Amino acid sequence: MSNIVMVFSPHPDDAEYYAGGTIAKMIQEGAKAYIVIVTDGRVGSFEFDSQSLVPIRSEEARRAAQVLGAEPPIFLGHPDMGLDQLKPGLLREQFIRLIRKYQPDIVIAEDAFTGFEVHPDHRAVAWAASDAVNSAMLPLAHPEHLTEGLEPHFVREKYFYTDQIDAANKIVDISQTMSVKLAALAEHKSQMWFLVEGVLRQAEAAGIDAQAITGEALKEPTTVVSWAMQVQAAKVGQKTNVQYGEAFRYARFHPFVEGLIKQ
């Protein structure tokens, strides 16, 4: 029986950026993957206005999911940079509802328990996802879901991605799917320009002429981001002697149950 994978992505590009190789690998192994995109990405640009940007980013996300082999994205449509202003508990309830509806075997989300996350949307999604995977199995948590035919569900495997490699207990070998990750990420063209432009502006603030140092390379943002992704994945891969890797804090069952499994 094929696994069902659900990914909680704060913005249209985050699934590919942080876990694209792992998602592609799971799909190639027979899984069906659903990427839940929580915000509309309307803030991530130096060139577009918000109204123009929203449909661009949603279309890029659809194309990226197709490259990965995932199902069409599930868009929640919350305003970018606005998750901290939502009604308390709303995001958690939406995640629990989705978990009960699709009954994933695996959930992928950012790790709420590693620090230094500067983006409020990322923090909000990380905590809501952590709460949801631990609450979706409880019948008295949002019992109104039962009237809709949504049964409690336990998520068997949790992959919490993290930039802090030392906090990871699982490195996924993405050597064979790194090219898919990069191809999917390249579909987020507006975001690639945004990322590179952000670095250039910081360099300028620091008194550095990045354009003079890097030359023509910065005129092709996708190439720059792809290079950075490969450097990062290679560093992670060194932990387990593979070419490219993605790092996660992996969790399955309560420690007591894990102890029984190992006996």
More confident residue, 129 or 218: 129
Token pair in block for residue 91: 């995001």
* pLDDT for the residue numbered 157: 97
For residue 48, the model assigns a pLDDT of 86
Q: What percent of the chain has pLDDT over 70?
A: 95
- Mean pLDDT score, 120-147: 97
**Across 30-43, average pLDDT:** 97
Q: Which two tokens stand for residue 243?
A: 């070419």
Q: Which amino acid is at 73?
A: P
- Domains by residue range for the chain, with CATH: 4-262 (3.40.50.10320)
For residues 110-125, average pLDDT: 93
Report CA-CA distances (Å) from 48 to 43, 130, 165: 9, 33, 35
Which tokens sit at 61?
């996300």
pLDDT(247) > 80: yes
The band of 253, judged by pLDDT with boundaries at 50, 70 and 90, is: confident
Measured CA to CA, the distance from residue 139 to residue 150 in angstroms comes to 10
The answer to whether residue 216 scores a pLDDT higher than 90 is no
pLDDT for residue 46 is more than 90: no
Instruction: Supply 7's token pair.
Output: 């990914």
As to burial, measured by CB atoms within 10 angstroms (0-12 exposed, 13-18 middle, 19+ buried), residue 165 is middle
User: From start to end of 79-175, where are the E strands?
Assistant: 106-110, 157-161, 170-173
Q: What pLDDT does residue 195 have?
A: 82
Q: Which residues make Cβ contacts (< 8 Å) with residue 102, sequence separation at least 6?
A: 4, 6, 34
Residue 119 pLDDT: 94
pLDDT of residue 201: 83
CA dist 208 and 217 (Å) reads: 16
Q: What is the pTM of this model?
A: 0.94
pLDDT in tens, 189-214: 998 888 877 877 888 898 987 666 66
Residue 103 has pLDDT above 70, yes or no: yes
User: Which H or E element spans position 58?
Assistant: helix 50-68
Q: Who has greater pLDDT, 262 or 56?
A: 56
What's the pLDDT score for residue 194? 84
Q: Are 144 and 23 in contact (CB under 8 A)?
A: no
Proportion of the chain above pLDDT 90, given as a percent: 75
| Confidence band of 1 (pLDDT split at 50, 70, 90) | low
**138-158 burial, b for 16+ CB within 10 Å, e for fewer?**
eeebbeebeeeebebbebebb
CA 207 to chain centre: 33
Question: Which has more confidence, 163 or 34?
Answer: 34
